[in-house]
Amino acid sequence: MKKHTIAVLVNDQPGVLQRVSGLFGRRGFNIESITVGTSEEAGLSRMVIVTSGDDRLLEQVTKQLYKLIDVIKVIDLSARPMVGRELALIKVNAEPAARPEILGVVETFRAAVVDIGTNTLMVQVVGDTEKIDAMVELMQPYGIRELSRTGVTAMIRGNAG
Amino acid sequence: MVAQNATLRSKEELMEKMSKPEVITGSEMLLRSLVLEGVDCVFGYPGGAVLFIYDAMHGFSDFHHLLTRHEQGAIHAADGYARASGKVGVCIATSGPGATNLVTGIATAYMDSVPLVVITGNVATNFIGTDAFQEADITGITMPITKHSYLVRSVEDLPRIIHEAFHIAGTGRKGPVLIDIPKDVSSHKALFKPVNEVSIRGYNPTVTAKKPQVDKMLKAIEEAERPVILAGGGVVYSGGHEELFEFVTKAGIPITTTLLGLGAFPSGHDLWVGMPGMHGTYTANKAIQGADLLINIGARFDDRVTMKLDGFAPKAKIVHIDIDPAEIGKNVPTAIPIVGDIKTVLQQANKAVKFAAKADVWRAQVAEWKQEKPLSYVDSNVELKPQWVIEMIHETTKGEAIVTTDVGQHQMWAAQYYRFNQPRSWITSGGLGTMGFGFPSAIGAQMAHPDRLVVSINGDGGMQMCAQELAVCAINNIPVKVAIINNQVLGMVRQWQEIIHNNRFSHIDLAGSPDFVKLSEAYGVKAFRAANKEEARDAWIAAMNHPGPAVVEFVVRRDENVYPMVTAGSTIDEMLMGDAE
């Protein structure tokens, strides 16, 4: 099972997210993460979807997506050199005694503390999925109170697209 | 037939009247747009959310509106109209229950790639999302079963959306498009200007195939020793039956046509080997399994054709021609994919296709199978056999009727024993297998072809799912001839329970069905009953000679099975041949 990251350029119409995500569910394709936002062109949104399966599945996913009238373009990002990033906010238990240790991890990961409570810290970390996973793992021992991840957004490097 | 037919205005007059820019309501825009799209018949059922639309239709005579007795009847009729005419079928229903009653018909059309524009009303835009009276999220409900859908948010968008909907429904791989119109959109006024152009950025179906791919197929034909063509509904939908005939006869390749492909190639031709798959012919199934080259033209490798996928056409190099790229490689790995419109691709191929010269032995083998094991059944002079009834209908209609069927045993017998020589003469629910489809679809087919003989073959089960539409035939004098093959049981379920569930017959007895003759007469439709061959022929001929609609109930043997049959998990050459083996 290979992981694929695909970008889908769609008309910014009501219901388009439902059409795309519904297609995945209906056809038995798995969505590991999906992010949606505006694109470089007014009226078009860009979805970035991470899915896993063999090449035949990717081909079928792509073809089925193209059948949707609101889909303009489907790009297999992971076929080329790609930058993939997600963001996570982690609210972790942080009694004053534990804070220096946590701050050490945050610095090493080039993450940031974005909120401080009486006995918590909120850490913001940006990076590829593996980096976020690692950060979450390191925060586990302190006790994670809340965790929110955005899912992956991605782009092909330089002129490779 | 329908008296209203004569009152329609000439096309030129209409276009002039309808194209005039004017400030009108959304409802009037809808009607004008439908006329400008060439619609001459609409099937529908009014209700609260489409009151303005029906108000605009009061006294409107520029297309026919047929009031069915159920929304399901309306959409199946629109479907039958589309399949028989090749045009886009149109139906209208109100919001909520009206719209949800269309769901089965939309799914039926989607599975069989039938072009429909489905218009539903909805509650006013300020009520949407409030669980208002008769509100349903019909665009959400039908998203998986429509090619595309619109919820119209402003009356100004209506002309563009209607034009786009017809374009999307009727081009590329055809399919149903839904337009949901809130009540205020249908009542508000705006300047109407007809939209004649369409520009949808994400939609541009490939029509012409890549030449190198076509050349690869032609080379494969020259090299093949055991080639077979599998042709499906795509041939009919593209209007490519003449090109198919030229292709098949030039190449000299045996051809099997799927359930939806019946009529795409003349059944009397030496190279035609029947239908493939679960209830396919011995020859078609043996030929596919023995083939070294299988050319799929506009079929989608449905599981009723392939049966056990692992063992399907095990020795064949697969060529697949389809307008929908997503069909290629979906079920069966394809060596030579060809994306394009069937008619266009075959025109491309016909320029250079050569006779498959290495396939002489194979052609002889196929002809031998055809001779040895044709379709057959054990006839009886005591009981009426359903297969005999179909053969009799074929003979008395000279094979020239438009035949619609419901779903079940009678459908398979009709597919096997009525011989089709023309496209769009065979209308049946293939993909979804929708009971209740047969009779209302015949009403639509008759509206499309007022001068042709339309025969609807039904079982006693399916007939009871839309029997109320007899009223539509009676009141509009739509002369459909309905055959009810009555075996007093859900026949195909009975057959599966016999063969697969060891005679454990569970809830299949249709005792308590109405007297179909009395039921028809209650609606004002002429009706006959027949229980032996003589009665059957006489009744059928009397029905055909009757100028209006007529029903013939054929009381047939209860326990008859459809053979050949391939059971689930078997490859298509593992056929049960039945009594006639």
pLDDT for B2 beyond 60: no
Minimal CA separation from A24 to chain B, in Å? 11
Average of pLDDT values for B294-312?
97
Closest CB to A60: pick one of B148, B203, B326: B326
Q: What is the largest CA-CA distance in chain A?
A: 57
Handedness of CA B240, B241, B246, B251 (dihedral sign): positive
pLDDT for B123 beyond 80: yes
Average of pLDDT values for B577-581?
73
Kindly report, residue by residue over B352-377, the tens digit of the pLDDT.
Answer: 999 999 999 999 999 999 999 999 99
Average of pLDDT values for B331-347?
98
- Band (pLDDT 50/70/90 cuts) for residue B7 is low
Provide Rg for chain B, Cα atoms.
24
Instruction: Determine the pLDDT at residue A133.
Output: 97
B54 alpha-carbon distance from chain centroid: 28
- Mean pLDDT for all residues in chain B: 96
Look at B325 and A66 and tell me if their CB atoms are within 8 Å. Answer: yes
Average of pLDDT values for B387-399?
98
Q: How far apart are CA A148 and CA A158, in angstroms?
A: 30
- Band (pLDDT 50/70/90 cuts) for residue A161 is low
Look at B329 and A70 and tell me if their CB atoms are within 8 Å. Answer: no
Look at B143 and A11 and tell me if their CB atoms are within 8 Å. Answer: no
Average of pLDDT values for B437-455?
98
Average of pLDDT values for B86-94?
98
Instruction: Determine the pLDDT at residue A141.
Output: 96
Kindly report, residue by residue over B169-204, the tens digit of the pLDDT.
Answer: 999 999 999 999 999 999 999 999 999 899 999 899
Instruction: Determine the pLDDT at residue B161.
Output: 98
Q: Please, which residues have CB within 8 angstroms of residue B10's CB and are 6 or more apart in sequence?
A: none
Instruction: Determine the pLDDT at residue B554.
Output: 98
pLDDT for B1 beyond 70: no
Q: How far apart are CA B506 and CA B338, in angstroms?
A: 46
B204 touches chain A (CB under 8 A): no
Give B119-140 as a DSSP string: EEEE--GGGTTTT-TT---HHH
**Closest among A108, A105, A100 to A140, alpha carbons compared:** A105
Look at A69 and B325 and tell me if their CB atoms are within 8 Å. Answer: no
Q: Give the residue on A whose Cα is nearest the Cα of B325.
A: A63
- Overall residue count recorded for chain A in this entry: 161
Instruction: Determine the pLDDT at residue B19.
Output: 85
Disruptive mutation site among B201, B206, B328, B332 for chain A (greatest number of A CBs within 10 Å): B201
Kindly report, residue by residue over B127-156, the tens digit of the pLDDT.
Answer: 999 999 999 999 999 999 999 999 999 999
Q: Give the residue on A whose Cα is nearest the Cα of B152.
A: A14
Disruptive mutation site among A24, A61, A67 for chain B (greatest number of B CBs within 10 Å): A67
What residues of chain B, 111 to 140, have a C-beta less than 8 Å from chain A?
Answer: 139-140
Look at B140 and A56 and tell me if their CB atoms are within 8 Å. Answer: no
Look at B151 and A14 and tell me if their CB atoms are within 8 Å. Answer: yes
Q: How far apart are CA B142 and CA B418, in angstroms?
A: 35
Q: pTM for the full model?
A: 0.96
Look at B326 and A63 and tell me if their CB atoms are within 8 Å. Answer: yes
Average of pLDDT values for A112-117?
97
Instruction: Determine the pLDDT at residue B15.
Output: 81
Q: How far apart are CA B378 and CA B503, in angstroms?
A: 21
pLDDT for B415 beyond 50: yes
Let me know how many helices (H) and strands (E) chain A has, helices first.
4, 9
Closest CB to B201: pick one of A26, A56, A72: A72
Chain B CB contacts of A18 under 8 Å are 140, 143
Instruction: Determine the pLDDT at residue A159.
Output: 83
Kindly report, residue by residue over B546-566, the tens digit of the pLDDT.
Answer: 999 999 999 999 999 999 999
B202's tokens: 């994400």
pLDDT for B351 beyond 80: yes
- Band (pLDDT 50/70/90 cuts) for residue B3 is very low
Instruction: Determine the pLDDT at residue B580.
Output: 58
Look at B148 and A72 and tell me if their CB atoms are within 8 Å. Answer: no
Closest CB to B168: pick one of A60, A64, A69: A69
Q: Please, which residues have CB within 8 angstroms of residue B347's CB and are 6 or more apart in sequence?
A: B243
**Closest among A65, A93, A82, A79 to A9, alpha carbons compared:** A65
Active-site positions of B read 71, 133-134, 183, 492
pLDDT for B12 beyond 50: yes
Chain A CB contacts of B200 under 8 Å are 69
How many A-B residue pairs are in contact by the CB < 8 A criterion? 40
The amino acid that residue B366 corresponds to is: V
